Chain A
């Protein structure tokens, strides 16, 4: 048989546990536990919503389709802007080390408002117009993205090593910062190469 003092210890322990249980909702309001890592996701999927069959050999007048997606894991609602840009081999991509965006002008944009834990996806269809070729370079006069045409005037030199006239389509993710009151580059971008070919 346990001594009375041993029973007392059990009662005190039960009492403390009970008080903790009743106090836990208040403790939850007062104590802020560190949350998980906060981040945003950005992706491009092929026409079948899979990581395959991305457009590669493209030509004038054809329509191509990919999907752009964004996921919010920032711990609160977020306001994102996705800028679609196109570059040739010599023009700069965003710099992930210095977290600076590409200085190229956007051709198209998406604005997305997402609650924490939610994701968004939209189609990105594009076609090229006024494409011409000379001996060692190709010229793209304009691009139409989701039905909106923009003049482009971009040249790509013949790449003898990879055998093609290469352009790179990329999407930059920007996020609205309440502290600065402006939209800032979120240091995330996705890209894929396009080889401009002649119409046969």
Chain B
């Protein structure tokens, strides 16, 4: 009888421990997924800051976010295995988004650097050409103005008569 009671007690304690372990494992997996999503989002924001197009990455992240919310909701409702499977999926998607974002960031950075220098060169060269052309026009205009001035008849005599 005592052995039976001890066995039942042992089973109860073990079951409780296994359940606690399962809860712990699920929460760790969800935390890992959550952290992966945050890291991916920060990487996507970095791409956005350097002017890269992040619509594709944001759409992938949104899918991961939806799945992470489902994992959290499943965890809250006690569906630990469902939560774990979803969290693992989220982590994989988020890590792929992060590596895509890092690649895109270097491309976007070099593009933005090129665009920056192109803009500077455009401004400097454009201004210089414009000022140069304006000086040429001014010189031509000045000569034309002087020629026109020379060709004018003096009207002082007429004024004097009046």
Contact = CB atoms under 8 A, between A and B. Distances in A.
B69 A29 contact: no
Contacts, number: 92
Interface residues of A, number: 36
A113 B63 CA distance: 9
Nearest to A24: B123
Nearest to A107: B76
Contact of B69 (A25, A111, A115): A111
Nearest to A149: B77
A199 interface: no
Contacts of B145: 4, 7
A29 B119 contact: yes
A150 B62 CA distance: 25
A43 interface: no
Chain A at the B interface: mostly helix, strand, loop or mixed? mixed
Contacts of B42: 178
A76 B49 CA distance: 9
Contacts of A19: 127, 130-131
Chain B at the A interface: mostly helix, strand, loop or mixed? helix
A103 interface: no
A77 B45 CA distance: 7
A18 B116 contact: no
A18 B130 contact: yes
Contact of B76 (A26, A115, A150): A150
Contacts of B95: none
Interface string B93-124: 00000000000000000000000100110110
Contacts of A34: none
Interface string B134-150: 10011001100100000
Nearest to B62: A113
B58 A115 contact: yes
Contacts of A145: 73
Nearest to B121: A26
A28 to B, nearest CB: 8
B46 to A, nearest CB: 10
Nearest to B42: A178
28 contacts: A7-B145, A14-B134, A15-B130, A18-B130, A19-B130, A22-B127, A23-B127, A25-B119, A25-B122, A25-B123, A26-B120, A26-B123, A76-B49, A77-B44, A79-B38, A108-B73, A109-B69, A109-B73, A111-B66, A112-B62, A113-B58, A113-B61, A115-B54, A115-B55, A115-B58, A149-B77, A176-B41, A178-B42
For the complex of A and B, the 3 pairs showing the least CB-CB separation, nearest first, are A111-B65, A22-B126, A26-B123
Interface of A: 4, 7-8, 11, 14-15, 18-19, 22-26, 29, 76-77, 79, 81, 106-115, 145-146, 148-150, 176, 178, 181
Given A11-B137, A22-B127, A178-B45, 12 more contacts: A15-B131, A18-B127, A19-B127, A26-B122, A29-B116, A77-B48, A106-B76, A107-B76, A108-B76, A111-B69, A146-B73, A176-B38
